[in-house]
Amino acid sequence: MDSSVNINSEVINFKQYISSNKDVFTKILKELEVVSKKTKDFLKSTLTKDDRIDNQLLELNQFQTHGFAWFETYRIGLRETYNWYSRLTQENKDSEIDASITIFAFAEYLTQMSNGIMMSQSEIIRPHDLGLKDNDFNFLQDNEINDMIEIGLSDKIKKVIVDSLDKDMFANLGLNDETLEMIQDQFKKFTEEEILPHANEWHLKDDLIPDETLKKMAELGVFSIAIPENYGGLGMGKVAMCVVTEELSRGFLAAGSLGTRAEIAGELIRLGGTEEQKKKYLPGIASGELLTTAVFTEPNTGSDLGSLSTRAVKSGDEYVITGNKTWITHGARSDLMTVLARTNPDQKGYKGLSMFLVEKPRGNCENPFPMEGMSGGEIEVLGYRGMKEYEIALDGIKVSKNDLLGEEEGNGFKQLMETFESARIQTAARAVGVAQNALELALQYSKDRSQFGKQIIKFPRIFSKLAWMAMETTVARQITLFSAREKDNDIRCDIEAGMAKLLAARVAWSNSDSALQIHGGNGYALEYPVSRVLCDSRILNIFEGAAEIQAQIIVKGLLVR
């Protein structure tokens, strides 16, 4: 082991440590693959009945199986964090904070994986729950690995991270692409000038993000990033969308989410629509002329979309849609709804569902739904303001048969499923943006606030919180970008996208809670933005698949992969 990183040394060079001990990290990742396989085999034997995974057994063992989803999320998170740092070293762009975060991540996540992972504030998954024994982690007793963990958990490494933060040096994003870096710079500037100065006022007044701001976002290409060039978009892919979404969400969650509205609708139409539908709608979505909203959820269904009861009955050349929808984001100030409805009442579950493209007049706060057969009201919420949430009643609204997505019934759920990877990657990027915002607010406050004669950033429990926030934000960011790269390369990434969303949502909430704690009593005051960030962060564990649903999807994918 390199002497320059002895835990008792006054000066520790963490870049040099990783350079001299690459085999330590590769060994850890290989050993974790072995542990993962053992857990997978244990769970498959527990859950298999008649040579297949039994859903009843899966539900009965939900705690253990969801724990495996978290274990694998940690494992892939460490792998992608190490890959991120390795790419930085190849480009000669690595810094001490990058090296420190990598070591800290390995030390902390390994310790949790071998002792207990917090799935939530009240649930800890232990190794024995996963069919593991103490000797399955004997590799952690290897002298070099044990030394790495000791260093990674030390105050010294946390001080290096926070000293860098104190100098406004954050972890490298690892984009390694001039175009992406230019986009990030552009949207960082836009967020600083157009979003952050107004975000708290928008939140406190429960205002919609102003039309003028939407216009500027459209001019920057927010709504066109993922839409192909031949339909008026930029065709830049998911990594670019993550970069933009993270920056906008760093300013205000709703600002980052506006791009998601366009992406969900654009993806549905691009993948499932007829050529006529693509030509009709995609250019308007890309330009921001058409604002969209997803109309899927119903009051009693939640994530159980197979139980949808909204009906679409064909009558001549039209469909008549009747039903109640809820949690419709940006429902009033939208021009185009993607509506999921049941066209075949005889087919239960997902098979009888179809997707419709329903145009509507744009409403406002005073008259949200100026359309015959459509009514509803606002759902007042703690956070995630700026777009507003609505309950909507569809009472016999009529749409042309040409507005059936793809002009073929029964494909609605399949069409929606094709967008899930993108939606979850997007949500993970939003969560990373919120987590970064929480870190920045906590950092600035800890520098500005003095107690007992010194800045509170100097106190161990404050700088430890900041270091933790920086580390977990980086891990969440890298697993998110990995998923986006896989998607851009047409590689199936539903499991990894789910992992990114699962982890990033938890990190956003954890960071926001720690940031508010650092603010003390002031954090509880509405005038401080951190109170808004805490409210915003909480929704991320719920929408686009609650954490429990997300873990279920991940583990079902893992067990059959």
Active-site residue list: 544
Helix (H, G, I), strand (E, B) or coil at 298: coil
CB neighbours of residue 59 within 10 Å: 11
Tokens 């790495």 locate to: 148
Residue pair 375/395 in contact by the 8 Å Cβ criterion = yes
What is the C-alpha to C-alpha distance for residues 136 and 113, in angstroms, rounded to an integer? 11
Give the CA distances from residue 141 to residues 21, 75, 128, 150, 301, in Å, rounded to whole numbers and listed in that order: 16, 19, 19, 11, 49
Residue pair 119/111 in contact by the 8 Å Cβ criterion = no
Which residues, 6 or more positions from 380, have their beta carbon under 8 angstroms from its beta carbon?
206
What is the C-alpha to C-alpha distance for residues 322 and 312, in angstroms, rounded to an integer? 7
Query: Hey, what are 281's tokens?
Result: 């709608």
What is the C-alpha to C-alpha distance for residues 274 and 224, in angstroms, rounded to an integer? 19
- CA nearest neighbour of 285 among 232, 330, 247: 232
Residue pair 259/222 in contact by the 8 Å Cβ criterion = yes
CB neighbours of residue 94 within 10 Å: 22
Give the CA distances from residue 462 to residues 258, 442, 515, 519, in Å, rounded to whole numbers and listed in that order: 34, 9, 10, 10
* Length of the chain counted residue by residue: 561
Helix (H, G, I), strand (E, B) or coil at 366: coil
Strand partners, 328: 390
